[in-house]
Copies of this chain bind each other. A is one copy, B any other.
Amino acid sequence: MSLPARLTRAALLSAAALLPIPLAAQSGADVAQAYRRAHEAEIVRDFAELLTYPNRASDTEDITRNALYIRDLLREAGAESELLTIDGVAPLVYGQLNVPGATRTLGIYVHYDGQPVDPRNWTHPPFEPTLYSASMEAGGEPIPMPVPGEAVDPEWRVYARSAGDDKAPISAVVTVLHAFREGGVTPTSNLVFFFDGEEEAGSRNLGRYMEMRADKLDEVDIWLFCDGPAHQSGRPQLTFGVRGAMGMEVTVYGATRNLHSGHYGNWAPDTGSILAHLLATMKDADGNVVVEGWYDTAEPIGEEEQAALESIPDVDPLLREELGLAWTEGQPETIAERLLLPALNIRGLTSGNTGALARNVIPNTAVAALGIRLVKGNDPAHLRQLVVNHIERQGFHVVSEDPDQETRLRYPRIAKVTGGGGYPAARTEMADPFVQQVIGAASRAADRAFGPGSLVLAPGMGGTLPLYLFTDVADKPAIVVPVANHDNNQHAPDENLRIANLWYAIDLYAALLTMPPGVS
């Protein structure tokens, strides 16, 4: 859709390059803001174009097309860029921008893949970006993409998979590079771009990709993990830790085939009921996990993090109102407190059919997908084993493949447990001097975009990034630098980005790329 827009901008840029530079000395932030104001429609259209690329990590063809497009965006913006590849998996988009005289190197991590989509649940096709006058919940209506020169309302939203998670930082940083080139601003740090194509699939090859550029990555002083949403208060945030994540699946078995519920009902094992009995033992009525040992290995937070935690706005009443909740798990503990504990959720249930497809059968299996979030101190394999132990204590024979006839005839209760793996949590010390510089730059951008004092410092966020590869394996400080609105529906249908948050992202990268020269 935005090919003409892109050509137009390229033409503008060429024209600008031919002109003398008449600008008085301006801050990088001012230059970026002025550039943004002059090109709002084009920036929105370019962002929408980026969102047209289907980006499920496991579809190697799709994800490679996506990677090549992003590589070219970086090149057009003046950076060196190439794909790092491993056979059969999503490529990594590597880029660098070396700044003569710079004494610091910033690593910028973004992921360009997205969660799987079930298009039946979306209002619009997930890879046909649709602009709305406001969020759907607020009564927004679809509107046409703006044409160059047209005013852009910051409350507009772009609906598409990966609008919020996680393509906005790519558009923002590329825009800032264009703005700086046009405005004659030089970044104060060398830049390394590391754009992951497998984050939603567990970043299984990120470590190997890091090894391919080990020398260059060694030069990085601090990693900016550009992912995640703003604080639920709507205020921007920096986060110094993430939870780990792990998916598991539990299948319980009835007869070898679906049975007619009339001819066998009251006699054949009722798989849904068996699964319900099992799942009900995993959490108590307050939502606390009662799997033995579940909370034992969670590291307590330190005094600094405790202080930051106490200064976080109390968003619980707001969130409960927004989400229509009269009750939350572990209440009266707040969400900020609850995110510092490992979570166990049922992310999916499948057995037979409900609704119009419901049939009079006793389904022969019932399946629960478990979503687990780990905190600092938790080992994924250990938590997995705790779940397996728990299932066995409920009287189940645990298997890893569908049971054969002999196994079925031997054990009254059988549960197949699959999945696991995933990755651990991570935390970075807030006292680190590079961390302090980033806090300073982000504060300035947040002040500009959302008002003075708006930046929230969160010791830990609930979501998951492969941060441990940088903090624990490569031993570098790493900060999570989110830009998306908190109600972006990430991982869900009708994912979206609020335009105001795209403008904030541009302010933020402008500030980060022009931080005063570093400490090293």
Contacts and interface: CB of A to CB of B under 8 A. Distances in A.
Interface in A36-58: none
B346 A276 contact: yes
A187 interface: no
A266 B373 contact: yes
A353 B260 contact: no
Interface string A310-339: 000000000011111111111000010011
A2 interface: no
A241 interface: no
A369 B342 CA distance: 31
A163 to B, nearest CB: 14
Interface stretch (A26-34, A427-435, A458-466, A511-519): A458-466
A352 interface: yes
B325 A408 contact: yes
Given A245-B262, A267-B330, A373-B265, A116 B492 contact: no
A350 B350 contact: yes
Contacts of A245: 262, 360
A489 B257 contact: yes
Contacts of A363: 346-348
A368 B366 CA distance: 12
A243 B343 CA distance: 44
Nearest to A115: B359
Interface stretch (A143-151, A175-183, A280-288, A382-390): A280-288
Given A326-B412, A491-B258, A270 B287 contact: yes
B273 A282 contact: yes
A411 to B, nearest CB: 6
A220 interface: no
A200 B169 CA distance: 54
A13 interface: no
A358 interface: yes
A491 B361 CA distance: 6
Nearest to A356: B116
A166 to B, nearest CB: 12
Given A272-B279, A358-B348, A371 B265 contact: yes
A267 B338 contact: yes
A309 to B, nearest CB: 14
A282 to B, nearest CB: 7
Interface string A186-221: 000000000000000000000000000000000000
A249 interface: yes
A168 interface: no
A349 interface: yes
Given A115-B360, A287-B273, A462 B264 contact: yes
Interface string A64-84: 000000000000000000000
A494 B427 CA distance: 53
A469 interface: no
A462 B362 CA distance: 13
Contacts of A249: 354-355, 358
Interface in A447-500: 461-464, 486, 489-493
A263 interface: yes
Interface string A247-266: 10100011111111111111
A361 B490 CA distance: 9
Given A324-B256, A351-B348, A329 B371 contact: no
A243 B262 contact: yes
Interface string A390-422: 000000000000010100111111000000000
A352 B355 contact: no
Contact of A357 (B116, B258, B345): B116
Contact of A267 (B269, B335, B410): B335
A271 interface: yes
A268 interface: yes
A45 B225 CA distance: 66
A360 B491 contact: yes
A413 to B, nearest CB: 7
Nearest to A395: B285
Nearest to A254: B325
Given A326-B411, A359-B492, 13 more contacts: A232-B263, A258-B489, A261-B373, A265-B345, A266-B342, A266-B343, A266-B373, A267-B330, A267-B338, A269-B329, A270-B287, A348-B357, A361-B371
27 contacts: A116-B359, A118-B353, A243-B262, A247-B358, A261-B345, A263-B462, A266-B341, A266-B345, A267-B330, A269-B287, A272-B345, A276-B276, A277-B285, A321-B409, A325-B409, A326-B412, A327-B412, A347-B353, A347-B362, A349-B350, A349-B354, A349-B366, A350-B353, A350-B355, A354-B368, A355-B367, A361-B491
